[in-house]
Amino acid sequence: MQALELPITQTTHYEDNISTNEFTSQALTTNPFNVLDNSFNRIFNQNFEEKIVLQMRKMLGEKANTLTDEKVECLATEFQFLINTWLDEYERDVFGGMTLKEVLNEK
């Protein structure tokens, strides 16, 4: 039986057209856990609401530890409402009673 001679490193291209070696070296230079994080994110894709809650918890810091997920989500919704309302009010002041979407005939 004859032994097969295989190359020491084999490069396979993923969807991104990045070889395995390039991908590993890039990930390790920035953060050694990027490879794991990317893999976990592909396997356990979080839904949109969970991502919002996690982002809000990061922004709120230590105070978020005492809040439930529902309360954090409620706060995010309230903040988004205020931001949209204030932006519409500002646009109406600037564009003579019309929002930017109305000015661009998108609404």
**For residue 105, how many C-alpha atoms fall within 13 Å in the half-sphere facing its CB?**
0
Query: Torsions phi, psi of 33, nearest 5?
Result: -95, 0
Residue 72 tokens read as 């954090």
pLDDT digits (tens, 9 = 90+) for 1-28: 555 555 555 444 444 444 455 555 554 4
- The partner residues of 13 in beta bridges, in order of sequence, read 19
pLDDT digits (tens, 9 = 90+) for 39-52: 777 776 667 677 88
pLDDT of residue 43: 73
Query: Could you give the CA distance from residue 87 to residue 49 in angstroms, rounded to a whole number?
Result: 23
What is the share, in percent, of the chain residues with pLDDT greater than 70?
65
CA distances from 84 to 47, 51, 58, 79, 96 (A): 23, 20, 22, 9, 18
Residue 93 tokens read as 């002041």
